[in-house]
Structure 1
Amino acid sequence: MSLHNVSDCNVYTDMEPFTYFYYLIFLIGFIGSCFALWTFIHTEQNRKCMSIYLINLLTADFLLTLALPVKIIVDLGIAPWRLKIFHCQVTACLIYINMYVSIIFLAFVSMDRCLQLIHRCKIYRIQEPGFAKMISAVVWIMVLFITVPNMVIPIKEIKEVPTVGCIEFKTKMGRDWHVFTNFLCSAIFLNFSAIVLISNFLVIRLLYRNKYNESYGNVRKALVNILLVTASYIICFVPYHIVRIPYTLTQSKAITTDCYFKQSLFKAKESTLLFGVSNLCFDPILYFYLSKTFRLQVSKTFGSRKEKNTLSEEQQGTHEELTQQCDVSVERP
């Protein structure tokens, strides 16, 4: 196979500053994910759909922890040529698998939370553990179907130079699939973002209407949880997707620009990608606020006896309150 020359416009310079942030994200996220895994392993096996979605989110996070060390080495410019090829074919794809699996399951978490608070006494199909497992499998199959071809489509042999980018390895078929998958992933982002924002807006509106109730403390906690999910989602994923489409079009040469604009887009893409992978740090916080079993296990492990008793009484009171509400709804004509 003949060797191909890379483009004269070098956009892959000055990558070292990004690696310090990636290293910090990896360190914090890996510790948090390991603790979350340990906690989920020690919780009761009778899992609700919320726990199922969070466990899938955790699985995606571990894929990201496998990819980040390789990206750090490549961006530092010290990776062997074969490792750089492996990164372009495999570990770079793992980053995007994590991103879109996280987007989808955060949407399911938001929807489940919305249904729990708005229709507390009715269980929908999507809230059944069996259905949650089935739809989780469908999500993984769909995301892998979109991303795996980027790993297996044959690549070109190019001249070994330190500043080559992953797009330079792709054949015409690889570039076309790359562009196609980027637009598919952008469609996934837009659709599931609508689910996240609509679900959280409905919950915030409901909680605001109940702000003068006697149980204002519980309302405030629920509101904080919803705002936390919404803020982390917007911070992590919105900036990257604003930059991704124009960057992809310049990558695939669908639009032609000068070298300075390409370099600026690349730096913007890498900067916003940092926000995208920072969900690795946010997710353990979400597990704590969104999963009662997770909080209970954390309290059992690290909390004092007083904190454990307080948490148990709080859960018992919440259960009794929900039961009373359901009884009242049944009595209505």
Structure 2
Amino acid sequence: MVANISSMVEDGNQSNSNNCSLEFNNLGVTAYILSISVLGIVLNIFVLTVFVLHKKPCTVAEIYLSNLAAADLFLVSFLPFWAANVYHKFDWIFGLAMCKMVNVSILMNVYCSIYFVVLISIDRYLALVHPLSLEKMRRPKFAKICCVVVWILGLSLSIPKFINRKLAPDKNITSCSELDETLLQATEWMILVLGFFIPISIIFFCTAKILKALRNRSIQGVKMRKKDQKANALVLAVLLAFLICWVPYHLRSIPTWLYKARILAKCSSEIIQHFCGQFFTYLAFFNSVANPILYVIVGRNFRDKLKELINQWDQKRSATIRLTTASTRILRSVKS
């Protein structure tokens, strides 16, 4: 993903000589990435804190949502390195190890995020369409195993990026680039097929079945439990936010395909690819901030957990104050 931004900037600089006017606002993009990173770290730590410290065990949906928050936190924690890279005009100053780690973290988020959304979609599909026959698949133990599998899958699919990332001296800078063009193309096709088409197909299938089941229940006059209504609203909101943020990113190569098909001129293709690539890539980053905001705004169950957690802390604080006061009184009575 990061490689695409670097290549777009380089292509843009080369195309200036061909009367393709492209500009890259390093300062503005740096500020945006840093703001996404700070907000993402604070909000996702907040979400994970609520899920982890709450006294009640997480539901299956909450297990998936907490892992999605962890994946988002993993991404935004490495974004400051990329912001510094953009600010220095893609002169990588952090060494080879961080060059590999930062890019692997971003690619892992691409895979893990969409497959956690797949698991969330499947969970809601099973809850609404097959509530009894496949109930065993909606147990917390099974959900935790699925999450471990997703993390392993995300790490495994990121290995080609880890291998191919190298430090490449280029004029007055050292870029963090992928040097093997064949491996780069293979990685891009893996992202497109395994990180987009297959999971998106599953998500669309589950969402269509969910909406159909909700419509049928509405027609039949079957009332859903408030708990299920809240869970469905949050899941659908997360799905919508994910599609808005990530689908354009995966479709950013369309201008290149149109150029190869001779539908677009080379200059037009470069200009569209340049600006769409920048906008859609940083829109994808924003999803890591949007998710925790949705938990608070749409997730009624999450807000209830937060209120209960605050009450727990208030009770503990009150108990500590009472204990301290009692201890002080005992000490005073002993001294007197």
Please state which band the TM-score falls in when normalised by the shorter chain.
0.7 to 0.9
How many angstroms does 1:183 deviate by? 0.9
| Distance in 1 of aligned mates of 2:136 and 2:172 | 54
Corresponding position: 1:284 with 2:295:
no
Task: Please tell me whether residue 98 in structure 1 is matched to residue 109 in structure 2.
Answer: yes
Aligned CA distance change for structure 1 residues 260 and 205 (closer, same or farther; 3 Å): closer
SS in 1 for 2:169: coil
Q: Deviations over 1:152-180 (max 9, x none)?
A: 34636423535x764xx3333xx322211
Match of 1:16 in 2: 27
Distance 1:246 1:182, change over 3 A: farther
1:43 aligns with 2:58: no
**CA–CA separation in structure 2 for the residues paired with 1:90 and 1:225:** 32
Alpha-carbon spacing, 1:165–1:270, altered in 2? closer, same or farther (3 Å): farther
Which of residues 224, 233, 240 is equivalent to 1:231?
240
Look up the match of 2:262. none
| Residue 65 (structure 1) aligns with | 76
Cα separation, partners in 2 of 1:177 and 1:69, compared to 1, 3 Å = same
Distance 1:52 1:84 in 2: 36
- Given candidates 114, 127, 133, the residue that maps to 2:125 is 114
Report the counterpart of residue 218 of structure 2 in structure 1: 211
What are the superposed Cα offsets for residues 218-272 of structure 1, whole Å, 9 maximum, x if unpaired? Answer: 486566335413321211111001114766999xxxxxx8466335313311210
1:15 and 1:84 map into 2 onto residues whose CA distance is: 21
Match of 1:199 among 198, 203, 206: 206
- TM-score normalised according to structure 1 size: 0.73
Q: Is the 8 A contact 2:41 2:77 kept in 1?
A: no
Q: Judge conservation of contact 1:240–1:276 (CA < 8 Å) in 2.
A: yes
- State the match for 1:262 in structure 2: 270
Aligned to 1:210, the other structure's residue is in SS state: helix
Which amino acid letter does the alignment assign opposite residue 289 of structure 2? Answer: C
Q: CA RMSD in A?
A: 3.5
Provide the aligned length of Structure 1 versus Structure 2: 288
SS at match of 1:158: strand
Provide the residue aligned with 1:320 in structure 2.
none
Query: Identity over the aligned pairs, expressed in percent?
Result: 23
Partner of 1:310: none
Relative to structure 1, the CA distance from residue 265 to residue 154 in structure 2 (aligned partners, 3 Å threshold; closer, same or farther) is closer
Q: Within 5 Å, which residues of 2 pair with 1:1-333? A: 9=14, 13-44=24-55, 46-77=57-88, 81-83=92-94, 88-153=99-164, 155=166, 157-162=168-173, 166=176, 169-172=177-180, 175-188=181-194, 189-211=196-218, 213=221, 215=223, 218=226, 221=230, 224-244=233-253, 258=266, 261-288=269-296, 289=298, 292=301, 294-301=302-309
Aligned amino acid, residue 233 of structure 1: F
Alpha-carbon separation, structure 1, partners of 2:34 and 2:100: 21
State the Cα distance separating 1:300 from its structure 2 match.
1.6
- How far 1:58 sits from its partner (Å)? 1.8
TM-score, with length taken from structure 2: 0.72
Distance 1:300 1:44 in 2: 9
Q: Answer yes or no: is the 8 Å Cα contact 1:95–1:277 preserved in 2.
A: no
CA shift for structure 1 position 89: 2.7
- Asked whether the equivalents of residues 230 and 300 of structure 2 are also in contact (C-alpha less than 8 Å), the reply is no
Q: Secondary structure at the match of 1:51?
A: helix
8 Å contact 2:109–2:154 — kept in the other structure?
no
Distance in 1 separating the partners of 2:214 and 2:30? 41
8 A Cα contact 1:236 1:276, kept in partner = yes
CA distance, structure 2, for counterparts of residue 119 and residue 38 of structure 1: 32
- 1:287 shift after superposition: 4.1
Gaps of 5+ in 2: 1-9, 16-21, 260-264, 312-336
- Equivalent residues of 1:240, 1:269 under 8 A apart: yes
Consecutive unaligned residues in structure 1, runs of 5 or more:
1-5, 251-256, 304-333
- Deviation string 1:54-108 (CA, Å, 9 cap, x unpaired) is 2221221121122211111111227764327666432133122112211010111
Larger Rg: 2
Instruction: Report the residue type matching 1:264 in the other structure.
Output: I
Aligned match of 2:326: none
* Aligned amino acid, residue 279 of structure 1: N
